[in-house]
Amino acid sequence: MRKPILLLFFIFSITCLFGQWTQLNDAPFVNHHTNGFGINGKAYSIQGISEIVDGQEGNMLWEYDPQVDTWTALGLAPSIARGYAIGDDMDGKYYFGFGFDRRDVWEFDPETLEFTELPPCPGVTRGHPAFIAHNDKIFMGAGSGDAGNLNDWWVYDFATATWEQKANMPGERRHHPYQFAIDDAVYVGGGHRGNWIKWDINAETWTAIDDFPGSRVAGTQFSYNGKGFVLSGDLEDHTPLVEKNFLMYDPAGDEWYELPFESSMHRWAGSSFIIGDDLFYFGGFGANPGGNDLNMWKFDLTTVKCLAPTRVLTTEITDNTAGLFWSEGPSGATDHFQWREVGGAWTTVETSESLYTLENLEGCTDYEFRVHINCGADGDSYSEIESFTTTGCGACIDNDFCDLGVYSSLSAYLNSVSIDAYTNVSENNDGYGIFTNSNGVEIGKGGSFDLTYEPVISGFNQSHYMKVWIDSNADGEFGDEELILDELIETGDGATRTLQVSEDALEGLTRLRVILNLDDISSPCNNPGIQKGEVEDYCVTIVEGPTSIKTAFDLLSDQVSVFPNPFHDNIQIDLSNLENVESVSLENIHGVNMLSRTLDAKAKDQLILPTGQVPNGIYLLRLFATDGSQIASKKIVRN
């Protein structure tokens, strides 16, 4: 039996997400609402934000060559500048128009690089409406007008060169929705609204479809090989999407499927085009750690021809059993799954069912499984590996703790946390980290322990809130009475606080939650909006007695008196209670020796250590005997 994974990190490489995403050279501009399409091995894009060239203001037209991964500026598109425009391609040409205070539409021919103006829409001017060119028609509706959001629906017929208003879109008025067309239907959804709908081109009627994508706004979209795709964007309140970023819609079964996506690729009002079987994704503005707004990626769309189940999960886990479940994929039939203890060999189970119970497992052990589908001529595929741990590890791991909400560590994060002698240098964990390697830390019920942290905070206002909860009754919840630190720290420096453990605490392994946030929060769970900070969870063992059993080394360390702590320009070390101290050293949390001193034989009871050149942070003061052995140590903080 193997114990649970001690440190849980999920690190993804943008260039190898299931072999489907590849990062390219950066785009030459960062614009939102850029529009483009691919044709004959190249792509053409019209920038979403205008600029002035030779005294004329307009939106730059670009050509992209995937063979050399380079962009070429071709000059300004015709007509005056516009923003929040929209466009779509059809039959080798591109149709582009609208934008705030605009209702004109243009046709772009990539063969001649010429623009031709079409009759303007009779409806009101608007920004970011739904706009689809399909089946020799243009379908347009909703968007932001001068008087607010809209829900009208218009169709332009190329055969008659006329616009005609049709039945309004169902649901509330909306702007910046997602849209795509497949066969004889146009699909629209989102735009600050949760309902997703289909326009039947022949019957000219609206019907509802599966609203799995929910309320979302300002992404990009396309259709490919009879499927619809929506990519990135924001939630209704303009916070970044943290799930469902890349979805595929199958009209045959009215089903949505999630595709691979990395959080740093998030964009508001991003852009995309397709060249051959490759999707190119760029532009817009990101909001997640690790992202660069200039980044551009390529996605291999052929991989979705044999798409393994994307909803793979476990249910009803016990010490010895685990229920495995997966949804049916859109591409082929499940023929088997594989499972193993992490690090071991795969065991194959032949089945066409989507629910299975594994038995005779070991308690408190890490396992994983994956599901296989056979797509016939289109090949075969395994799902993403799903990991799980059987119960029996203790309350810290076995319990299902509440969701945090969304934390962004762009502005602040916990660089390190220490619980008495245990120190974890975690650095930036993109808003959340869980550390089970702290399960050897013992704290006594009815006693106290020292918690020291080192923050990293950007900006001028360095003040922050620190809150710590301990699940003292091991019920998987953090109650109000389990809040043991709630403090506004006026500076951006680290601090040490002595925290009390309840006399009624339940002995055994439990969870400690540490939250650093620039704004005050009312709960350890489900705080609304995007929080500016980071959460870290630790496993600690509550033991009988007010304190953990201390070694002789610990007792000697307690006799080392350091003033002040936190320190600044110097520290005074009282050594009167210790014997045979020959030298002292000061190390940072990475073990680097910052300075050291040998004691004067005439003054061994006290030492003043100058620390004016030492950076702010958490340090370990070590005391050594004449034979070089360490006598004692003391954790101190400079601010």
SS3 state of residue 559: coil
CA distance 133 to 136: 7
Contact 392, 364 (CB under 8 A): yes
* DSSP summary character for residue 59: -
Contact 241, 287 (CB under 8 A): no
> pLDDT at position 173, please?
95
In angstroms and rounded to an integer, the radius of gyration of the C-alpha atoms of the chain is 30
pLDDT tens digits for range 45-84: 998 888 888 888 888 999 999 999 999 999 998 877 788 8
Q: Quickly state the pLDDT bin for 291 (edges 50, 70, 90).
A: low
% the chain with pLDDT above 90: 56
> pLDDT at position 568, please?
81
Contact 536, 426 (CB under 8 A): yes
pLDDT tens digits for range 477-532: 999 999 999 999 988 888 899 999 999 999 999 999 999 999 999 899 988 888 99
% the chain with pLDDT above 70: 92
pLDDT tens digits for range 163-202: 999 999 999 999 999 999 999 999 999 999 999 999 999 9
Alpha-carbon distance values, 122 to 82, 156, 375, 539, 625 (Å): 18, 10, 48, 65, 90
What's the mean pLDDT in 89-114?
Answer: 93
Contact 83, 71 (CB under 8 A): no
Question: What are the residue ranges of CATH 2.40.10 in the chain?
Answer: 121-209
pLDDT tens digits for range 553-588: 454 556 678 888 888 888 888 877 777 788 888 887
pLDDT tens digits for range 387-396: 999 999 889 9
Sign of the four-CA dihedral 232, 236, 242, 244: negative
> pLDDT at position 338, please?
96
The rounded mean pLDDT for the chain is 87
Question: What are the residue ranges of CATH 2.60.40.1930 in the chain?
Answer: 552-638
Architecture of domain 309-389: Sandwich (2.60)
Contact 401, 535 (CB under 8 A): no
What's the mean pLDDT in 235-252?
Answer: 89
> pLDDT at position 320, please?
95
Residue predicted with more confidence, 622 or 232: 232
Reply yes or no on whether the pLDDT at 453 is more than 90: yes
As assigned by CATH, the class of the 552-638 domain is mainly beta
Backbone φ and ψ of 611, nearest 5° = -130, 20
CA distance 541 to 417: 17
Question: What are the residue ranges of CATH 2.60.40.10 in the chain?
Answer: 309-389, 398-543
CA distance 289 to 233: 16
* DSSP summary character for residue 77: P
Least confident of 65-69, 275-279, 379-383, 393-397: 379-383
Q: CB neighbours of 344 closer than 8 A, spacing ≥ 6?
A: none
Which residues pair with residue 105 across a beta bridge?
Answer: 97, 118
Least confident of 62-66, 138-142, 354-358, 437-441: 437-441
For residue 153, count CB atoms less than 10 angstroms from its CB and return exposed for 0-12, middle for 13-18, buried for 19 or more. buried
Select from 479, 543, 562 the least CA-distant residue to 513: 479
Architecture of domain 121-209: Beta Barrel (2.40)
Is the preceding omega at residue 528 within 30 degrees of 0, hence cis?
no
Select from 209, 207, 394 the least CA-distant residue to 319: 394
Q: To which H or E segment does residue 553 belong?
A: helix 552-558
> pLDDT at position 370, please?
95
> pLDDT at position 601, please?
63
Q: Quickly state the pLDDT bin for 638 (edges 50, 70, 90).
A: confident
> pLDDT at position 228, please?
96
Least confident of 109-123, 167-181, 426-440, 622-636: 622-636
- How many H-runs (helices) and E-runs (strands) does the chain carry? 2, 57
Residue predicted with more confidence, 402 or 606: 402
Q: CB neighbours of 171 closer than 8 A, spacing ≥ 6?
A: 151, 193, 195, 197
Beta strands in 564-605 (DSSP E): 570-574, 581-588, 593-598
Reply yes or no on whether the pLDDT at 205 is more than 60: yes
> pLDDT at position 464, please?
94
Q: To which H or E segment does residue 555 belong?
A: helix 552-558
> pLDDT at position 2, please?
33
CA distance 567 to 398: 41
What's the mean pLDDT in 428-444?
Answer: 88
Is the preceding omega at residue 177 within 30 degrees of 0, hence cis?
no
Q: Quickly state the pLDDT bin for 428 (edges 50, 70, 90).
A: very high
Q: Is 376 left (phi over 0), alpha (psi -120 to 50) or beta?
A: left
Backbone φ and ψ of 99, nearest 5° = 110, 160
Q: Quickly state the pLDDT bin for 1 (edges 50, 70, 90).
A: very low
Select from 95, 72, 82, 105 the least CA-distant residue to 32: 82
The answer regarding whether domain 398-543 maps to CATH 2.60.40.10 reads yes
**If DSSP states are collapsed to H, E and C, what string results for 368-414?**
EEEEEEECHHHCEEECCCEEEECCCCCHHHHCCCCCCEEEECCCEEE
SS3 state of residue 7: strand
Q: To which H or E segment does residue 552 belong?
A: helix 552-558
